[in-house]
Structure 1
Amino acid sequence: MESERRLIYHETQKLQFCLLHSLNNLFQEKDAFTRANLNAIAEKLTFGDPNKATWTPLSVIFKPHHNSLTGNYDINVLIAALEERGKRVMWHDRRNGTSSIDLDGLRNELFGIIVNVPVRRYAGLWKSRHWVALRRIEGVWYNLDSDFPAPYCFKNTEEIREFLDSVMSTGAEVLLIMNDKE
């Protein structure tokens, strides 16, 4: 009898909370992180910043590490959130291509991948960036992009490498999320 495949957890995009959705999709938990968690991390980063900017009336909404209304968290929040969960972030050097990434998990260090891709919305008038989680679940890699209506299952590691090489050629940043060594 073939074992049943577990359901893949997948949050879809709301406002600019793609970092929140990416983290929850990466950890495969509905509330691995909440807006309150990420806001607290962003505030802690701001409080500890020796170079923090002076306060203006717009500071209520546009904070140094996120927008308090729409989300739009930055890389500092991502790294701090992952470190709280015992993960570390390694920036992938695009000069090496994707052949240097151990996608097969032979050393069991790679927890997942977060990609920060440039996007254009509203007929190209709005330029922004979007966080996307990739994760191997039960031996199969998935693209858990919150803009997708459902997770996308990669056929094999070659397809993931092609995807990553393609998005890196458009200016995407690839972040390897590693398990801490014990």
Structure 2
Amino acid sequence: MTSQDSQVYHETQRLQFCLLHCLNNLFQDGDAFTQAGLNAISEKLTLEDPERAGWTPLSIVFKPHHNVLTGNYDVNVLIAALGERGKSVVWHDHRNGASSIDLNSPDATLMGIVLNVPVKRIFGFWKSRHWVALRRIDEIWYNLDSDLASPEPFKDADELWGYLDSVIAHGGEVLLVMNEKKS
């Protein structure tokens, strides 16, 4: 890890709280989001859902937008959490290569990138999905994946575009986190 990397905030994985870690890594602040805050967003989404299913005994643990015991929040929680901070999410169209993403846009436009990637855990027997944050800090893009021991810088835009193309090719989703436009 370089001295530059040591100035980059990075949370590592705990249970299935990868969305919590992803958001805190994206905002570069360990107090940006909490488990209680994301749970509250999840509960609010459930109450506001006109299509919500009836209660079952499993509803105590397996909520529509997260798992109470392990986390594992869904994209609706991500979008709502970012919306509370004046950010919006734009899904990257898979038909376009990653090179269509303007990585050099001013920080005032593109805050960062969130990935949702398929993962295999427990010797490949358990398939799940994992949230990953990518963020430009001091003109360097970093992979802030909570499964990594430390942040990993990309050497240039071409390396990052190649990484994003690989994510897309392996069934991952690329979400662009945009700053709210000022009028």
Q: Which residue of 2 aligns with 1:75?
A: 75
CA distance in 2, matches of 1:33, 1:132: 15
| Residue identity (%) | 66
Q: Deviations over 1:50-70 (max 9, x none)?
A: 111111111000000000010
Change (3 A) 1:163 1:20: same
Query: One-letter code of the match for 2:93?
Result: D
Could you tell me how far 1:33 is from its partner in structure 2? Answer: 0.2
Gaps of 5+ in 1: none
Q: Following superposition of structure 1 onto structure 2, how do residues 1-182 of structure 1 map, counting pairs within 5 Å?
A: 5=4, 7-106=7-106, 108-182=108-182
Could you tell me how far 1:116 is from its partner in structure 2? Answer: 0.3
Could you tell me how far 1:124 is from its partner in structure 2? Answer: 1.3
Could you tell me how far 1:108 is from its partner in structure 2? Answer: 3.6
CA distance in 1, matches of 2:118, 2:124: 11
Change (3 A) 1:107 1:134: closer
Q: Which stretch of structure 1 is more off in the superposition, 35-44 or 118-127?
A: 118-127
CA distance in 2, matches of 1:107, 1:98: 18
Q: So what's the TM-score if we normalise by structure 2?
A: 0.95
CA distance in 2, matches of 1:99, 1:155: 15
Query: One-letter code of the match for 1:115?
Result: L
CA distance in 2, matches of 1:143, 1:86: 23
Q: Deviations over 1:31-89 (max 9, x none)?
A: 10000000000000000011111111110000000000100000000000000000000
CA distance in 2, matches of 1:48, 1:181: 27
Gaps of 5+ in 2: none
CA distance in 2, matches of 1:119, 1:155: 25
CA distance in 1, matches of 2:30, 2:55: 34
Q: So what's the TM-score if we normalise by structure 1?
A: 0.96
CA distance in 2, matches of 1:11, 1:35: 14
Query: One-letter code of the match for 2:103?
Result: L
